[in-house]
Amino acid sequence: MKKTPDPAAPASLDDLPLRERQVVEQVYTLHEATATQIQEGLEVALTNSAIRAMLARLEEKGVLQHRVDGQRYLYSAVVPKQAVRDSALKRLVGTFFDNSAASAATALLGMSDQLSNKDLDALEAMIAKARAEGR
Protein backbone atom coordinates (compact mmCIF):
# COMPACT_ATOMS: atom_id res chain seq x y z
CA MET A 1 0.00 0.00 0.00
CA LYS A 2 1.54 3.28 -1.09
CA LYS A 3 0.77 6.56 0.59
CA THR A 4 0.26 9.79 -1.29
CA PRO A 5 3.12 12.22 -0.63
CA ASP A 6 2.35 15.04 1.77
CA PRO A 7 2.46 18.36 -0.12
CA ALA A 8 4.15 19.89 2.94
CA ALA A 9 6.96 17.32 2.79
CA PRO A 10 10.47 18.66 3.21
CA ALA A 11 12.07 19.84 -0.01
CA SER A 12 15.39 18.27 0.89
CA LEU A 13 17.04 15.78 3.17
CA ASP A 14 18.63 18.73 4.97
CA ASP A 15 15.20 19.60 6.37
CA LEU A 16 14.98 16.25 8.17
CA PRO A 17 16.35 15.50 11.63
CA LEU A 18 19.74 13.76 11.56
CA ARG A 19 18.52 10.22 12.29
CA GLU A 20 15.68 10.42 9.77
CA ARG A 21 18.11 11.72 7.16
CA GLN A 22 20.44 8.79 7.88
CA VAL A 23 17.54 6.37 7.39
CA VAL A 24 16.60 7.98 4.07
CA GLU A 25 20.22 7.95 2.91
CA GLN A 26 20.35 4.24 3.71
CA VAL A 27 17.21 3.68 1.64
CA TYR A 28 18.80 5.56 -1.27
CA THR A 29 21.91 3.38 -0.93
CA LEU A 30 19.91 0.14 -0.92
CA HIS A 31 17.23 1.37 -3.40
CA GLU A 32 14.60 -0.65 -1.54
CA ALA A 33 14.99 -2.05 1.96
CA THR A 34 13.35 -3.59 4.99
CA ALA A 35 13.59 -2.02 8.44
CA THR A 36 16.14 -4.69 9.40
CA GLN A 37 18.33 -3.97 6.36
CA ILE A 38 18.23 -0.25 7.16
CA GLN A 39 19.07 -0.94 10.81
CA GLU A 40 22.06 -3.09 9.81
CA GLY A 41 23.38 -0.38 7.47
CA LEU A 42 23.36 2.43 10.02
CA GLU A 43 26.50 3.33 11.92
CA VAL A 44 24.48 4.11 15.05
CA ALA A 45 22.73 1.48 17.13
CA LEU A 46 18.98 1.95 16.93
CA THR A 47 16.33 -0.59 17.82
CA ASN A 48 14.17 -2.10 15.10
CA SER A 49 11.12 -0.44 16.65
CA ALA A 50 12.85 2.97 16.51
CA ILE A 51 13.65 2.39 12.83
CA ARG A 52 10.04 1.38 12.11
CA ALA A 53 8.75 4.49 13.92
CA MET A 54 11.04 6.68 11.78
CA LEU A 55 9.93 4.88 8.63
CA ALA A 56 6.29 5.59 9.52
CA ARG A 57 7.08 9.28 10.11
CA LEU A 58 8.99 9.48 6.84
CA GLU A 59 6.01 7.97 5.02
CA GLU A 60 3.71 10.54 6.66
CA LYS A 61 6.07 13.29 5.48
CA GLY A 62 5.91 11.90 1.94
CA VAL A 63 9.61 11.09 1.80
CA LEU A 64 9.35 7.30 1.74
CA GLN A 65 6.79 4.77 0.56
CA HIS A 66 6.47 1.05 1.05
CA ARG A 67 5.15 -2.02 -0.68
CA VAL A 68 4.26 -5.31 0.91
CA ASP A 69 6.22 -8.39 -0.14
CA GLY A 70 4.80 -11.35 1.76
CA GLN A 71 5.29 -10.43 5.39
CA ARG A 72 7.93 -7.79 4.68
CA TYR A 73 7.54 -4.08 4.13
CA LEU A 74 10.00 -2.84 1.50
CA TYR A 75 10.69 0.89 1.72
CA SER A 76 11.80 3.10 -1.14
CA ALA A 77 12.20 6.82 -1.70
CA VAL A 78 9.35 8.81 -3.21
CA VAL A 79 11.67 11.30 -4.91
CA PRO A 80 14.35 9.78 -7.17
CA LYS A 81 17.93 10.17 -5.97
CA GLN A 82 18.84 12.23 -9.06
CA ALA A 83 16.14 14.80 -8.25
CA VAL A 84 17.39 15.09 -4.65
CA ARG A 85 20.96 15.43 -5.92
CA ASP A 86 19.95 18.13 -8.41
CA SER A 87 18.05 20.06 -5.76
CA ALA A 88 20.97 19.90 -3.32
CA LEU A 89 23.39 21.02 -6.02
CA LYS A 90 21.19 23.98 -6.96
CA ARG A 91 21.05 25.05 -3.29
CA LEU A 92 24.82 24.66 -2.98
CA VAL A 93 25.48 26.73 -6.11
CA GLY A 94 22.96 29.33 -4.95
CA THR A 95 24.34 29.59 -1.44
CA PHE A 96 28.08 29.45 -2.03
CA PHE A 97 28.50 30.55 -5.65
CA ASP A 98 25.83 33.28 -6.06
CA ASN A 99 23.87 31.05 -8.46
CA SER A 100 26.84 30.90 -10.82
CA ALA A 101 27.38 27.43 -12.25
CA ALA A 102 30.60 28.73 -13.80
CA SER A 103 31.93 29.74 -10.38
CA ALA A 104 31.05 26.32 -8.99
CA ALA A 105 32.73 24.60 -11.95
CA THR A 106 35.80 26.80 -11.49
CA ALA A 107 35.96 25.77 -7.83
CA LEU A 108 35.75 22.12 -8.87
CA LEU A 109 38.51 22.62 -11.40
CA GLY A 110 40.56 24.23 -8.65
CA MET A 111 40.48 20.79 -7.08
CA SER A 112 41.85 19.30 -10.28
CA ASP A 113 44.60 17.51 -8.39
CA GLN A 114 41.76 15.32 -7.12
CA LEU A 115 40.26 14.78 -10.59
CA SER A 116 41.40 11.94 -12.82
CA ASN A 117 42.04 12.39 -16.53
CA LYS A 118 38.79 10.52 -17.10
CA ASP A 119 36.93 13.07 -14.93
CA LEU A 120 38.55 15.98 -16.78
CA ASP A 121 37.67 14.40 -20.15
CA ALA A 122 34.06 14.02 -19.02
CA LEU A 123 33.94 17.69 -17.99
CA GLU A 124 35.37 18.77 -21.34
CA ALA A 125 32.77 16.67 -23.14
CA MET A 126 29.94 18.25 -21.11
CA ILE A 127 31.24 21.75 -21.89
CA ALA A 128 31.45 20.92 -25.61
CA LYS A 129 27.90 19.53 -25.55
CA ALA A 130 26.57 22.63 -23.75
CA ARG A 131 28.23 24.86 -26.36
CA ALA A 132 26.80 22.79 -29.20
CA GLU A 133 23.32 23.09 -27.66
CA GLY A 134 23.72 26.87 -27.37
CA ARG A 135 23.81 27.01 -23.59
Helix, strand or coil for residue 65?
strand
Residue 12 confidence (pLDDT): 62
Residue 92 confidence (pLDDT): 86
The reply to whether the predicted model has a pTM over 0.85 is no
Domain ranges of the chain: 13-77, 81-132
54 with 20: CB under 8 angstroms?
yes
Q: Per residue of the chain (135 residues), what is the pLDDT tens digit?
A: 554 544 554 446 778 888 998 999 999 999 999 999 999 999 888 898 999 999 999 999 889 999 999 999 999 999 888 877 787 788 888 889 998 888 888 887 887 777 788 988 888 898 899 899 987
Q: What CA–CA distance (Å, rounded) separates 12 from 125?
A: 30
Angle between helices 81-96 and 101-109 (to 10 degrees): 90
Residue 9 confidence (pLDDT): 46
Close Cβ partners of 10 (under 8 Å, ≥ 6 residues apart): 16, 61, 63
Which regions of the chain does DSSP assign to beta strands (E)?
A: 64-69, 72-77
Q: 13-77 adopts what CATH topology?
A: Arc Repressor Mutant, subunit A (1.10.10)
Residue 4 confidence (pLDDT): 52
Q: What CA–CA distance (Å, rounded) separates 126 from 135?
A: 11
Mode of pairing for the β-strands spanning 64-69 and 72-77: antiparallel
